[in-house]
Structure 1
Amino acid sequence: MGNTVNGIIAFIPSKHCQKYLLGDLEEMPIDKMVDLSSLQLRRFPLRVCAFTELVKLYLSDNNLNILPPELELLQNLQILALDFNNFKVLPQVVCSLKQLSILYIGNNRLRDLPPELCFLKSLQTLWIESNYLTNLPVVICELTLLKTLHAGCNPIRQLPRELKNLTELRSIWMSSTLLTSFPHVLLEMPFLEVIDVDRNGITFFPNLSHMTNLKLVIYDHNPCRNAPKVAKGVRRVGRWSEESPEPKKKSEVEAEVDKATESKEAQSLPPKDTANQSNEVTEDETAVPQHSV
C-alpha cells in the first residue's frame, strides 16, 4: 500500500507532496549519508544538491531516468547507488563526481557507457549487472584503480583485450552472460583473486594453475567437459570440484603405474578370469563423472 501511495504522489510536483516523500530532509545528515531508496521517485530532489559534504547517496529502486546537472555540486560523494531505476543512458553528470569509489548502476536499461566514465579515476567498485550490454564497454578498462567488477546478467559474448590493463582488478563477476568460451584475456591477469563465470555456455576450461593469486573460481552451470585446473589452495565451485587440483605426488604416480602393470598382466589370463576383470572396469567407469548438457 505504501509503495502505491508513493507512486501516485511522485507524479505530483507540489512541495507538500515532495516533502511527504522525502521526510524531514532539510539539513545535512550527521553521517553524511542520504538514503532515498524505494520511494517511487520520478525526479531527483534538488535540495539534496545543497549537501555539498555528502559522502553516500542511495537512490536505488525508484523510477528515475535523468539526473539534474546540479548533482555536480556533490564533489565529496564516494558512493552512489542508481540501481533498479529506468536509466537508458548513464547521466554524464555522474562522470563529474571524481571522488566516487563505488558506483551501482545495475538493473537499469543501459546498452553502453559514456566515454566520460574514464574521468572516475577513483572508482574501485563498479556494478553494471542486469542491463542490456552486449559487450563490456572498453571505457571500463581505463578505470585504473578498479578492484571489483560485477557485469553478470548482461548478453555479453566476449571481453576486450584491454581488460588486462586493469592491474588492480581482483574480482570479476560474469555470471549469466553469453560467454561460450573462457575469456582468454583473463589468463593474462594473474593478479585476479576471484573469477565467476557461472551460468554461461563454456564447454572447456583452460589450465589456471599459473594464476598464483587466485582464491576462488565459480564455473558451475556450464556445459563443460572438465574442471579448470588450479593451484594448491584455490577453491572451485562447479562440477568435479571435489577432485584434487594439486599435482600428484611421486608415490601416487608410482602406485598408478603398478596398478596399470597388474591390469595389463591380468588381461593375459584365460577367458574365465577376464570376465571378472571386465566387471571391475565397468564399476570404475561408473565412478567417473559423465558429461551432461
Structure 2
Amino acid sequence: MVVKNTITITVIPDETDCLHPSAGGLGTNPPTILENNGLNISNTQNTKLEENARLQLLKDILEFPVKIESLPTAEKVLRHKKKYIDLGNKQLDAIPEELYEFVETEELHLEHNQLQCMPPELGCLVNLRILYMDNNKLEDVNDNIASLQNLISLDLSFNPSLNLPISSIARLANLTDLRLYNINLMEFPTKFCRSMLHLELLGISNNNLRNLPPEMERLKKLKELYVENNQLVDFPQCICSLANLKVLDLDGNRIYRIPQQVAGLVSLNQLHLARNALTSLPDALCLLENLQLLDLGLNALSALPDSIQWLTNLREFNASFNHLRVLPHKFYKLVELEVLHLRGNLLRNLPKRISRLRKLRYLDASSNRLLHLPANICALTSLQMLALDDNELQDLPEHFGNLKSLAILGLTGNQFEEFPLSLCSVTSLQKLYLGQDQGKPFTRIPEQVQYLKELEELYLDNNLLITLPHVLRHLKKLRIFDISNNRLSTLPATFTEITWLHSIKLDNNDLDKLPEEIDTFKSLKVLSVKNNPMQYPPKEVCENGLESILAFITHEKNVRKRAIAIQAWWRGMMVRGGLGVFNTGTKSKKGKKGQKSSAKGKKKK
C-alpha cells in the first residue's frame, strides 16, 4: 500500500451555509474541516497523534471508518448533509471546532461528557432542533443559545452548578420539550411561562422548588409536567386549568392536601403523588374520568373515598405503604384495573367481589394482615403475578389451580400449618417463593410438587426441611433452586439427575458431602454451600465457590482413574508372570495336562 504524504480536502461551496464564526460574512465559504488545504503529515510522532485525533473525531461524527491513507474528500463529507451527530459519552472537556462545520445538523448529542461551558460558536448551528447537554459539568451557557430559534427540544439536566441564562433561553419560543432536572433551581422563571407557549413537556424534577409561579397557567399546550423530588407543600393550583395535561408527576414532595380544582385536569392520564404527606383524597380527584394510572404510595392515607369507583378507566393503582384497613365496598367497579399495589397496609381481607376485576394481571398484597383469601379470587384467570408474602395466611382456596395464567407466586412469611397442596395444581407457575424467614416453616415438601412442570425458579429457604423429594427430577425447566437455611444432611440420589440447573444455593445446612456428579451439571453458574460441615470437598475449597469445587472434584476423579489404571497394569503383570496368588492356578493346569496324557496312554492299550 502506498502512503500519501499530503492530504487535501476541497470544499464545495453551498449558498445555504450559515455564517461561521471565522468566516467573513454571509455567502462566505466556511473553512475546511482540516484548517490547511495542504496539510503535510510529517514523520514526527506528535503530528501523527494530532492527525489521528482529528480523524477519530471525523469517524465519530460521520460514523464511517476514516484512515490516514484514505480520507474521504470534503465533497463526500459535506455533501452528505449530516443531520444527526452523537458525541455523547466521549469524555469531551470542550466542544471540538470541527463540529461547527456541520451546519445542516438538526440533532446534536453532547450528554455525559466533561463540558464546563457552552461556547458562543454553537450558536451558528441555526438548524438545530434537538440539543442534549445533560450530565456534564456545565457552569455557563452562552447567550448565543438564543440564536437557535429552530430548537424544539433542549436538555440541560444534571448540571448542578449551572448558571442558567434565563433571558436567552426564554427567547427560544419554539421549544416544545424543556428538561432542567437537577440543576439546583430555586424557582421556576416566570419569563419561560410568558414566552414558551408551545411547551408540551416540562421536566423540573430534583430541584429545590417550593412552589410554581401563577403564570404557569399560560402553558396551555403542556401535556407532561415532571416536578418530582422538590419541596412543594401545596398542590400547585396554577396548573389545574391545564386542560391538555396528560402526565403529572409530583412524587417526592411534601404535599398534604389536594384541592377541589384538580377536577379541571380533564385530560389527565397519569397522576403520580407517591412519597408525599396525604391523609385523605377529595371526591373531585375521582372526577378525572380519563385517569389510567394513580400512584398514591408512601403517604398517610387511612381510607379511600367511596367515590374512587368513578375512576372506571383506571388501569394501574398504587396505594402501597399507607394505613389502609379496608378497601371501599364498591372497589370492584374498577373493572379496567390491570395492576394493583396494596403492599404494606393493615388489610385483613380482600374485597369479596374481587372476582369482578377480570383484567387484573398483577396483584401485590404483601406485608398486610391477611388471614384468608376470598374463594372467588380463583376467578381471576388473567392474573400473572400474585404477591402474598408476609401475611398471616393459614391456607389457600381449594380451587387455587383455576389461576391458569399465574406465573409468579410469593407466599414467604406466612403461617401455613403444612405445605398448601392446592398450589401444586397451578401448573402455569414459573417462579415460586416459599421462604419462611418470618413465617411458620415447612418440614416437608410433598411429591405433588412434580406437577409444576413449568417451574423455573423455586425458593425454599429458611424452612426446617430434612430431606428433599425424589420427584424434583421431573421439573425439567427448573433453573434456580434455593434451599439454603434448612436442615439437610444429605441430598437425594436423584438430585444428580437435575443437570439442567443454573443456580444451586445450599448455604447453612448440615451437609458434609456433595455428589461427585455435580461436575456433569453443564449449565451450572452458581453453587453455594457456605456454613456447612463439609468434608468432601473440604470446607476451604467450598468457600472459594463453584470453580474451586469443580476443579477439586475433577482432580479427585483423575487421581482415582490413575490409581485404577496402575492396579490393572500390576494385576496383568502378576497374571502373566504367574506370581503371588496366581501360582496356584499354573500348577493345576500342569496336573490336568498329566492326567490327559496318562488317559491317552490307557486308551492305546
* Residue 19, structure 1, aligned to residue 325, structure 2: no
Cα deviation digits, residues 123-174 of structure 1 (max 9, x gap): 1111000001232211111111111110110411111111111111111100
Q: Which has the higher contact order (CA 8 A, sep 6+)?
A: 1
Partner Cα separation in structure 2 for residue 147 and residue 45 of structure 1:
33
Choose which of 80, 85, 88 in structure 1 pairs with 2:363: 80
1:74 is displaced (CA, Å) by 1.1
Per the alignment, residue 274 of structure 1 pairs with none
Assess, with a 3 A threshold, how the Cα gap between structure 1 residues 124 and 224 changes in structure 2: closer, same or farther: same
Assess, with a 3 A threshold, how the Cα gap between structure 1 residues 64 and 166 changes in structure 2: closer, same or farther: same
Does the residue aligned with 2:458 lie in a helix, a strand or coil?
A: strand
- State which drifts further: 133-142 or 45-54: 45-54
Does the residue aligned with 1:75 lie in a helix, a strand or coil?
A: coil
- The letter of the residue matching 2:416 is L
**Contact 1:28-1:51 within 8 A present in 2 as well:** no
Choose which of 475, 491, 496 in structure 2 pairs with 1:189: 475
Per the alignment, residue 510 of structure 2 pairs with 223
Cα deviation digits, residues 45-83 of structure 1 (max 9, x gap): 346433211110011111111122332221100000110
Choose which of 391, 402, 406 in structure 2 pairs with 1:108: 391
Per the alignment, residue 280 of structure 1 pairs with none
Cα deviation digits, residues 71-109 of structure 1 (max 9, x gap): 222110000011011111112232221110110111000
Partner Cα separation in structure 2 for residue 55 and residue 121 of structure 1:
16
Partner Cα separation in structure 2 for residue 80 and residue 23 of structure 1:
26
Partner Cα separation in structure 1 for residue 480 and residue 284 of structure 2:
41
Assess, with a 3 A threshold, how the Cα gap between structure 1 residues 206 and 29 changes in structure 2: closer, same or farther: farther
Partner Cα separation in structure 1 for residue 392 and residue 284 of structure 2:
29
Task: For 1:4-43, list aligned pairs within 5 A.
Answer: 18-19=280-281, 24-26=285-287, 27=289, 29-31=291-293, 32-43=315-326
Largest Rg, 1 or 2: 2
* Residue 211, structure 1, aligned to residue 489, structure 2: no
- State which drifts further: 107-116 or 245-254: 245-254
Choose which of 165, 178, 184 in structure 1 pairs with 2:451: 165
1:17 is displaced (CA, Å) by 6.6
- The letter of the residue matching 1:176 is N
Assess, with a 3 A threshold, how the Cα gap between structure 1 residues 98 and 106 changes in structure 2: closer, same or farther: same
Per the alignment, residue 484 of structure 2 pairs with 198
Choose which of 529, 532, 542 in structure 2 pairs with 1:238: 529
Assess, with a 3 A threshold, how the Cα gap between structure 1 residues 220 and 256 changes in structure 2: closer, same or farther: farther
Partner Cα separation in structure 2 for residue 253 and residue 225 of structure 1:
21
Task: For 1:171-182, list aligned pairs within 5 A.
Answer: 171-182=457-468
1:23 is displaced (CA, Å) by 9.5
Cα-Cα RMSD: 3.1
Does the residue aligned with 1:232 lie in a helix, a strand or coil?
A: coil
Partner Cα separation in structure 1 for residue 561 and residue 357 of structure 2:
67
Partner Cα separation in structure 2 for residue 141 and residue 107 of structure 1:
20
Partner Cα separation in structure 2 for residue 28 and residue 245 of structure 1:
62
Structure 2, unaligned runs of 5 or more: 1-255, 257-277, 294-314, 531-541, 568-605
4+ residue stretches of structure 1 with deviation over 6 A?
Answer: none
Assess, with a 3 A threshold, how the Cα gap between structure 1 residues 250 and 105 changes in structure 2: closer, same or farther: closer
**Contact 2:393-2:416 within 8 A present in 1 as well:** yes
- The letter of the residue matching 1:118 is G
Choose which of 354, 362, 379 in structure 2 pairs with 1:96: 379
Per the alignment, residue 45 of structure 1 pairs with 328
TM (norm. structure 1) is 0.74
**Contact 1:173-1:197 within 8 A present in 2 as well:** yes
* Residue 144, structure 1, aligned to residue 437, structure 2: no
Choose which of 414, 417, 440 in structure 2 pairs with 1:131: 414
**Contact 1:174-1:198 within 8 A present in 2 as well:** yes
The number of residues matched between the two structures is 246
Partner Cα separation in structure 2 for residue 109 and residue 251 of structure 1:
50
Partner Cα separation in structure 2 for residue 23 and residue 145 of structure 1:
42
Partner Cα separation in structure 2 for residue 54 and residue 198 of structure 1:
37
Does the residue aligned with 1:195 lie in a helix, a strand or coil?
A: strand
**Contact 2:467-2:492 within 8 A present in 1 as well:** no
Partner Cα separation in structure 1 for residue 422 and residue 322 of structure 2:
32
* Residue 257, structure 1, aligned to residue 563, structure 2: yes
Assess, with a 3 A threshold, how the Cα gap between structure 1 residues 69 and 245 changes in structure 2: closer, same or farther: farther
- The letter of the residue matching 2:281 is K
Partner Cα separation in structure 2 for residue 191 and residue 243 of structure 1:
24
Does the residue aligned with 1:72 lie in a helix, a strand or coil?
A: helix
Partner Cα separation in structure 2 for residue 131 and residue 61 of structure 1:
15
**Contact 1:190-1:210 within 8 A present in 2 as well:** no
Partner Cα separation in structure 2 for residue 67 and residue 168 of structure 1:
28
Cα deviation digits, residues 193-230 of structure 1 (max 9, x gap): 11110100001124533223211111101111123553
1:116 is displaced (CA, Å) by 2.3
- State which drifts further: 158-167 or 234-243: 234-243
Choose which of 332, 347, 350 in structure 2 pairs with 1:67: 350
* Residue 156, structure 1, aligned to residue 417, structure 2: no
